[in-house]
Amino acid sequence: MNNVLSSILSWEFVAAGIRVTTPILLAALGALVAELSGTPNIALEGTMLFSAFVGVIISGFTHSLWLSVIGALITGIIMSSILAYFSLKLKTDIIMAAIALNIFASGGTIYALYLLTGDKGSSASLKSLVLPSIDIPILKDIPILGDILSGHHILTYVAIILVFLIQYMLYRTPLGLRIRSVGESPDAARSVGISVFKTQYTALIISGMLASLGGIFLSMGYVEWFARDMTSGRGFIALAAQALGGTSAYGVALGSLLFGFSEALSFSLQFLNIPYEVTQSMPFIITVGALAFYAWNKAKNKKNRDI
């Protein structure tokens, strides 16, 4: 018990929390951009899963990290384009279209893995690459700060930078203004000459690319292989993090940290005599609790405004 408590209260645990937060944060930023445009991207889970798969397959066959990343990003664009085509062009319910994509990704990746490698369930026979970790000069030699902030995966730093870039894009650029305008009132945006279709399509593409980065972090950062349903609901947790964070990238980052640290805590609690099923379900229990609090608080504020 004391060993577990000391590990939870250590700086290494904080660093682990940041590492676990990375894929959730990347997908949550994608959820934010799509949500503000009025086209919620529920297909984040499937997009992450397919991108994780494509990254491993391309790196295994070409031994090129750049091609792997480009391939994963293109996968995110394709998944979002399919969602946009069905929801924006064919006027299909976007939630139903996204659910179909998530189901397709779960079965499609395993089937494609078997066709390409002969493996069932995971890419055990395929030697794939891992994106590098970075030691930050000077910072890595500073006690405590170096342990927390240095030596992370390159996509962890990309995710941190993207928090500021997405915030700037949404609130300081013409594209961000168009995205928010279309999300708040499509008719009003259309009346001043803004293309609603083009803006929402662009937002979904950005959302898909961000989710794809979260996907390749799982298969080329966390580990160096692909496994069936390895996203483990992180796409849905990212949606909850976005809901908690509201309309700000900074708020979304804080929401992602909450879920990331709860997942890291579940790993630490596995050393106690707590059933594996209980510790594994902790992030999802916290997700449900946080969303319930968010809904209660939102309803309470609305009631106060009406009064």
Cβ-Cβ contacts under 8 Å for 83 (sequence gap 6 or more): 41, 43, 94, 97, 98, 101, 204, 208
With a pLDDT cut of 90, the percent of the chain lying above it is: 56
Q: What is the pLDDT of residue 1?
A: 58
Judge whether residue 185 has pLDDT over 70.
yes
Judge whether residue 281 has pLDDT over 80.
no
Q: How confident is the model at residue 139 (pLDDT cuts 50, 70, 90)?
A: confident
How far apart are the C-alpha atoms of 117 and 43, rounded to whole Å? 26
Token digits of residue 305: 């405004």
In single-letter form, the type of residue at position 209 comes to M
Q: What is the pLDDT of residue 288?
A: 78
Judge whether residue 290 has pLDDT over 90.
no
Q: What is the pLDDT of residue 7?
A: 59
With a pLDDT cut of 70, the percent of the chain lying above it is: 92
Q: What is the pLDDT of residue 161?
A: 96
Q: Return the minimum-mean-pLDDT range out of 56-60, 200-204, 224-228, 277-281.
A: 277-281
User: Using one digit for the tens of pLDDT, what is the confidence trace for 187-238?
Assistant: 999 999 999 999 999 999 999 999 999 999 999 988 888 999 999 889 988 9
Q: How confident is the model at residue 37 (pLDDT cuts 50, 70, 90)?
A: very high
Q: What is the pLDDT of residue 243?
A: 86
Going 78 to 80 to 83 to 86, the CA torsion angle's sign is: negative
Q: Are 131 and 219 spatial neighbours (Cβ–Cβ below 8 Å)?
A: no
Judge whether residue 294 has pLDDT over 90.
no
User: Using one digit for the tens of pLDDT, what is the confidence trace for 7-32?
Assistant: 566 777 788 888 889 999 999 999 99
Q: What is the dihedral of CA 298, 238, 96, 167, to 10 degrees?
A: 80
Q: What is the pLDDT of residue 307?
A: 62
Q: What is the pLDDT of residue 150?
A: 83
Q: Are 31 and 207 spatial neighbours (Cβ–Cβ below 8 Å)?
A: yes
How far apart are the C-alpha atoms of 137 and 35, rounded to whole Å? 38
Q: What is the pLDDT of residue 264?
A: 79
